[in-house]
Amino acid sequence: MSQPTLDKKTFLILARQAGFNPTDPHLDELFPEVQLMLERMEMLFDSPVDGFEPGYRSPESEV
Residue numbers of the site for other proteins (CB under 8 A)? 1, 3, 6, 11, 14-15, 18-20, 26, 29-30, 33-34, 37-38, 40-41, 43-45, 47-49, 52-57, 59-63
Q: How far is the CB of 46 from other proteins (least distance, A)?
A: 8
| CB 42, CB 2: distance < 8 Å | yes
Q: How far is the CB of 51 from other proteins (least distance, A)?
A: 9
- How many CB atoms neighbour CB 10 within 10 A? 11
Q: How far is the CB of 23 from other proteins (least distance, A)?
A: 15
Distance CA 20, CA 45 (A): 28
